[in-house]
C-alpha cells in the first residue's frame, strides 16, 4: 500500500463491487463501519487483514490506513462516524457480529445517507446502541514482521492445505520449532495452530464467495474431510459454510 489517499470524512453510502475489485489504501478523519450485505469483504492494513461475510461488519477507526478487497459480488455499505463519536471505544480494526436487527439498521441508514431528519437521527441512535451490544469476533489474520516467521507464513499463504508440522516448516526456513513457536506468540499474539486455522478460515470464506463447493473448499484449505471443515466453520461462525455460497 504505497499510495495513500486521505479523505477528511468517512462517507456513509452504499456501492456495488464486482468480484476481485479493490479500493486502494486510504484513510479517514472519522471512524467507519464497513459491511458487505452480500459477498465477502477483506480490510487490510500494515498489521494484518480482517475478513467479514454477510453476518459480520468491520470497524475501522479514524486515521487507519486501510484497503478493501471484494470476494464475490459485493453490496458494500459504509457508515461514517465523527472521530469524537466512538461507541465501541476501539482503536484498531475489529470484526463485529451483525444480527438481523443491526443488518436492517445498517441497510436503512446507508440507503438515504444525506437525510438529516429527526427520524434518521433516531435510526442512527439505535444503530449505535446495537453496535455497542455487538459481540467482537477474532477474525483477524495478523501480518508477521520477523523474517523467519514471514517465510513460514508465506509458505502457508501459498498453500493453506500444507499440513507439515512447525518443526518441518522450520527446517525449510532455517529456524527451530521452539524459535518459531515463540515468534508466533510474540509477533502475532497467537499460537501456530491458531494462526493456521485463522488462515484456513479466511481462505475458506474467499473460496465460498467464489462459489467453490464445500467439499472442494475443505480439501483446498487443509481439512481432512468436509465434515471436519463444517464442524470448525460452525464453531467459528455459528452456521454451516453453505450459508455463504452465492444463490
Confidence band, pLDDT 50/70/90 cuts, at residue 106: very high
Q: Residue 2's pLDDT is what?
A: 45
Confidence band, pLDDT 50/70/90 cuts, at residue 14: confident
218 pLDDT exceeds 80? Answer: yes
Average pLDDT over residues 82-97: 87
Give bridge partners of residue 68 from the DSSP assignment: 23, 43
3 pLDDT exceeds 70? Answer: no
Give the Cα separation of 227 and 244 in Å (integer).
16
For 22-58, the pLDDT digits (tens) are: 889 999 899 999 998 888 899 999 889 998 888 889 9
Q: Residue 237's pLDDT is what?
A: 83
Q: What is the pTM of this model?
A: 0.84
Confidence band, pLDDT 50/70/90 cuts, at residue 190: very high
* Residue whose entry in the numeric block shows the C-alpha cell 484456513: 200
Average pLDDT over residues 202-219: 93
Q: How many helices (H) and strands (E) does the chain have?
A: 8, 10
Q: Residue 1's pLDDT is what?
A: 42
161 pLDDT exceeds 60? Answer: yes
Q: Are 39 and 58 in contact (CB under 8 A)?
A: no
Neighbour-count burial for 25-56, b at 16+ CB within 10 Å, e otherwise: bbbbebbbbbbbbbbbbbbbbeebbbbbbbbb
Average pLDDT over residues 159-187: 95
Q: Which residues are within 8 A (CB) of 11 and not within 5 positions of it... i.e. 6 or more apart?
A: 78, 80, 113
* Domains parsed from the chain with CATH numbers: 5-140 (2.60.120.280), 144-244 (1.10.10.60)
12 pLDDT exceeds 90? Answer: no
109 class by beta-carbon count within 10 Å (0-12 exposed, 13-18 middle, 19+ buried): buried
Amino acid at each position: 500500500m504505497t499510495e495513500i489517499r486521505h479523505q477528511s470524512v468517512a462517507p456513509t453510502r452504499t456501492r456495488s463491487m464486482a468480484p476481485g475489485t479493490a479500493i486502494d489504501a486510504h484513510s479517514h478523519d472519522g471512524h467507519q463501519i464497513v459491511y458487505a450485505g452480500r459477498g465477502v469483504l477483506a480490510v487490510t492494513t500494515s498489521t494484518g487483514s480482517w475478513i467479514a461475510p454477510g453476518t459480520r461488519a468491520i470497524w475501522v477507526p479514524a486515521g487507519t490506513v486501510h484497503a478493501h478487497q471484494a470476494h464475490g459480488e459485493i453490496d458494500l455499505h459504509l457508515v461514517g462516524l465523527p472521530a469524537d463519536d466512538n461507541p465501541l471505544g476501539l482503536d484498531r480494526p475489529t470484526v463485529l457480529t451483525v444480527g438481523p436487527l443491526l443488518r436492517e439498521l445498517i441497510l436503512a441508514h446507508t440507503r438515504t445517507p444525506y437525510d438529516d431528519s429527526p427520524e434518521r437521527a433516531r435510526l442512527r441512535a439505535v444503530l449505535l446502541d446495537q453496535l455497542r451490544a455487538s459481540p467482537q469476533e477474532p477474525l483477524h489474520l495478523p501480518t508477521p514482521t520477523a523474517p523467519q516467521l514471514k517465510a513460514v507464513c508465506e509458505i502457508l499463504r501459498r498453500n493453506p492445505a500444507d499440513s507439515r508440522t512447525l518443526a518441518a516448516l522450520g527446517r525449510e526456513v532455517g529456524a527451530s520449532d521452539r524459535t518459531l513457536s515463540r515468534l508466533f506468540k510474540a509477533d502475532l499474539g497467537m499460537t501456530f495452530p491458531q494462526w493456521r486455522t485463522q488462515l484456513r478460515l479466511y481462505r475458506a470464506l474467499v473460496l465460498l464467495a467464489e462459489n467453490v463447493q464445500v467439499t472442494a473448499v475443505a480439501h483446498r484449505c487443509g481439512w481432512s474431510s468436509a465434515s471436519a471443515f463444517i464442524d470448525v466453520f460452525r464453531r467459528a461462525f455459528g452456521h454451516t459454510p453453505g450459508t455463504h455460497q452465492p444463490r
